[in-house]
Amino acid sequence: MRPFLWRLLEWRLWVEDGHKYRHPSESWDLI
């Protein structure tokens, strides 16, 4: 089983943390 949920959780935390330093639109462009 691939750690899909874990990767999704890490990505979510990274995006939420990224909002503190960069504009949300820039984070969405990295999807």
Q: Rounded CA gap, 15 and 1, in Å?
A: 24
pLDDT at 16: 73
> According to the model, what pLDDT value does residue 5 have?
87
- Whether 20 and 29 have beta carbons less than 8 Å apart is answered as no
pLDDT at site 7: 87
Each residue's pLDDT tens digit, 1-31: 578 888 888 888 887 776 555 555 555 555 4
pLDDT given at position 9: 87
Q: Is 3 helix (H, G, I), strand (E, B) or coil?
A: coil
pTM attached to this predicted model:
0.38
